[in-house]
Amino acid sequence: MTDAPAPLADPHLVYDPVAGDGPKDVVILGSTGSIGTQAIDLVLRNPDRFRVTALSANGGRVALLAEQAHRLRVRTVAVAREDVVPELREALSARYGAGEPLPEILAGPDAATQAAASDCHTVLNGITGSIGLAPTLAALEAGRTLALANKESLIVGGPLVKALAKPGQIIPVDSEHAALFQALAAGTRADVRKLVVTASGGPFRGRTRRELAAVTVQDALAHPTWAMGPVITINSATLVNKGLEVIEAHLLYDIPFDRIEVVVHPQSYVHSMVEFTDGSTLAQATPPDMRGPIAIGLGWPERVPDAAPVFDWSKASTWEFFPLDNEAFPAVNLARHVGELAGTAPAVFNAANEECVEAFRTGALPFLGIIDTVTRVVEEHGTPATGTSLTVPDVLEAETWARARARELTARTASAEARA
């Protein structure tokens, strides 16, 4: 274990690109999403610790983006959709006083990447999907601390991220990986026997594969413990999200896949655990709330007081743990296989899944068809481009092929069902 490559995320190492007193300058990517809005809540409650200099969003919630920009007094607002710029400028003008300068507006598909490279201490990447890869690489190349909530960018571009990241430069924000990050601080890397990643089990915990055949989009969006966006919520229902987290844990901590275990924990109190060689297991636990992991990402190595709720230990509670049903939920094992293939295979897995989730949301694919189709796309992909030769064009080409193939297979499924 001691001869293995250094992990991307190491709680014992602190990367500080801009040392000094005063609040940390932070850029928030995906500011109108679940992670972004909770990060802004944390910042507004801790103005002595954090100052937001730039925001980015896709452009679907212009009024909220303008409100955020005004409350935080940011220098720059980035929006992916160029068509909403007039609406955004009007919304900003309505909030700023006469003669008060408006923030700079960046627009287009590269706007978030430009924001990620802007002058700041920390970039919080809360974008959903593999479109977060370019901003992740830009933040690392610019020398910023990266608070990473966009797991897809690490998964699809693992070797690219590892080639750029300096020791301690990435702080994970996923609740599971923030938990592992904190638990790993208790020992050396050589002391680690196993990583245990917890899963709520989603809305369909305990159901058999046959019982999953008729579930609806509304069923899949009814997550029992977390309030998240629709894509990640459906990924949690299929357990694709847990599969992605297994790959992410491998990449962040350089622990082999056979020493990363998934267990079902319905209460979502224990966010993950580290088992050490002496038999000790350290679990990180809080009530389900993403502001705790976000605070770790923005504040490390310091903790932010009262960032998230705490348990009332005077009240009785029950914490349960169950083995994962890999027959009903094969996504985790598929993700392990993809992670071991490495190269462009994770990009194919992720891109095909994004297409299949969208097809499920629009009624073009049944729930079980998501993983069945992703599995077929992965199998057809064959031997991926691997090793240090992996490039961004390799990733983009693999994603393009996977999306097209997933759409073809989805259309066949829809046509067959229509004939039936």
Q: Is residue 16 part of a domain?
A: no
The parent domain of residue 220 ranges over 177-419
Q: Residue 174 annotated as binding?
A: yes
Same domain for 201 and 110? no
Neighbour count for residue 95 (Cβ, 10 Å): 14
Residues 252 and 239: their CA atoms lie apart, in Å, by: 20
Dihedral class, residue 205 (left if φ above 0, else alpha if ψ from -120 to 50, else beta) = beta
Residues 409 and 420: their CA atoms lie apart, in Å, by: 17
Note the pLDDT of residue 6.
75
Same domain for 198 and 322? yes
Q: Is residue 2 part of a domain?
A: no
CATH number for the domain that contains residue 127 = 3.40.50.720
Cβ pair 387, 159 in contact under 8 A: yes
Note the pLDDT of residue 417.
64
Nearest to 319 by CA among 214, 213, 200, 238: 200
Note the pLDDT of residue 1.
36
In the predicted model, residues of the chain with pLDDT beneath 70 are: 1-5, 19-20, 383-388, 414-420
Q: Is residue 15 part of a domain?
A: no
Q: Residue 245 annotated as binding?
A: yes
Q: Residue 24 annotated as binding?
A: no
Q: Residue 235 annotated as binding?
A: no
Same domain for 149 and 251? no
Q: Which of 143, 174, 205 is the last residue of a domain?
A: 174
Q: Residue 130 annotated as binding?
A: no
Note the pLDDT of residue 415.
64
Q: Residue 408 annotated as binding?
A: no
Q: Is residue 218 part of a domain?
A: yes
Residues 287 and 306: their CA atoms lie apart, in Å, by: 13
Q: Residue 242 annotated as binding?
A: yes
CATH number for the domain that contains residue 226 = 1.10.1740.10
Note the pLDDT of residue 257.
97
Same domain for 161 and 247? no
Q: For residue 77, what are its two tokens? A: 């607002």
Q: Residue 350 annotated as binding?
A: no
Note the pLDDT of residue 316.
96
Q: Residue 176 annotated as binding?
A: yes
Q: Is residue 309 part of a domain?
A: yes
Same domain for 183 and 202? yes
Q: Residue 229 annotated as binding?
A: yes
Q: Residue 31 annotated as binding?
A: no
pLDDT tens-place string over residues 260-319: 999 999 999 999 999 999 999 999 999 999 999 999 999 999 999 999 999 999 999 999
How far, CA to CA in Å, does 369 sit from each of 134, 164, 219, 415?
Answer: 30, 37, 15, 13
Q: Is residue 237 part of a domain?
A: yes
Q: Is residue 149 part of a domain?
A: yes
Same domain for 141 and 280? no
> Could you tell me the end-to-end alpha-carbon distance of the chain, in angstroms, rounded to an integer?
55
Cβ pair 257, 273 in contact under 8 A: no
Same domain for 256 and 342? yes
Note the pLDDT of residue 3.
45
Q: Which of 151, 174, 197 is the last residue of a domain?
A: 174
Nearest to 25 by CA among 63, 76, 66: 76
Same domain for 387 and 271? yes
Q: Is residue 18 part of a domain?
A: no
Q: Residue 48 annotated as binding?
A: no
How far, CA to CA in Å, does 355 sit from each of 150, 216, 283, 398?
Answer: 18, 17, 35, 14
Same domain for 150 and 213? no
Note the pLDDT of residue 385.
57
The count of structural domains within the chain is 2
Helix crossing, 230-238 with 345-361: angle to 10°?
110
Same domain for 41 and 186? no
Q: Which of 156, 174, 192 is the last residue of a domain?
A: 174
Same domain for 185 and 305? yes
Note the pLDDT of residue 228.
76
Residues 178 and 297: their CA atoms lie apart, in Å, by: 8
**DSSP-derived pairing of the beta strands 281-285 and 270-276:** antiparallel
Same domain for 56 and 121? yes
Q: Residue 233 annotated as binding?
A: no
